[in-house]
Amino acid sequence: MLLPPHSRFEQPMEGRELSTGIRLGRGWHTGDPADAGAAWTRSPRATLQITAGHFPEPVPLRLTLRAFCASPERPGTLRLLSPGQPVLQRVLTSTAPVTLLLATPRHAPGAESTALTLAFDLFGSPLLEGAGPDERQLGLTLLDVTPRWPLRRRLNAVLSRLRRS
């Protein structure tokens, strides 16, 4: 069944805001008190919605992620796809956090937001791994997302906050 491009089922879902102008898109488990605020991927492709109003031009973005069950014997391939930017690919061989730097997407004219896609091919279940009763399939957890604004913009933001105080 094909859905029209403007169908509500094809539109990005409003997810939790992670940072100003950055929200969880599709492919994430909904909040669970046991996660203590962690966001886990639930499918091979998960998105972050980057708003054009906050990021009209590409800005460096630091993502800190952790794979649920990667190991040297069972590596997982992570691909980060940000429209208008080169594809970033890493092979993860441990569950240690990894920090990656990429640019926010280049938005199409008139777009309200653009999806940054995380594609990961390795999933596991805490129940099957013997790590707890959780039956969900987990791929990556997003530990931190931080825009690295250019220095001038950061200084202007700090000055603006100081003036309001």
pLDDT less than 50: residues of the chain: 1-13, 33
pLDDT at 11: 43
Distant-in-sequence, close-in-space partners of 54: CB < 8 Å, separation ≥ 6 = 20, 21, 22
- Ranges of beta strands (E only) in 10-164 are 17-19, 22-24, 39-40, 45-51, 60-67, 76-81, 88-92, 98-103, 113-120, 140-147
Q: What is the DSSP letter of 33?
A: G
Distant-in-sequence, close-in-space partners of 59: CB < 8 Å, separation ≥ 6 = 103, 104, 147, 148, 149, 150
Cα 140 versus chain centre, distance? 9
pLDDT at 7: 41
Write b or e for each residue in 83-99: b if 16 or more Cβ atoms lie within 10 A of its Cβ, otherwise e.
bebeebeeebeeeeebe
pLDDT at 15: 75
Give the model confidence (pLDDT) of 65-92 as tens digits: 999 999 999 999 999 999 999 999 999 9
| pTM to 2 decimal places | 0.77
Distant-in-sequence, close-in-space partners of 11: CB < 8 Å, separation ≥ 6 = none
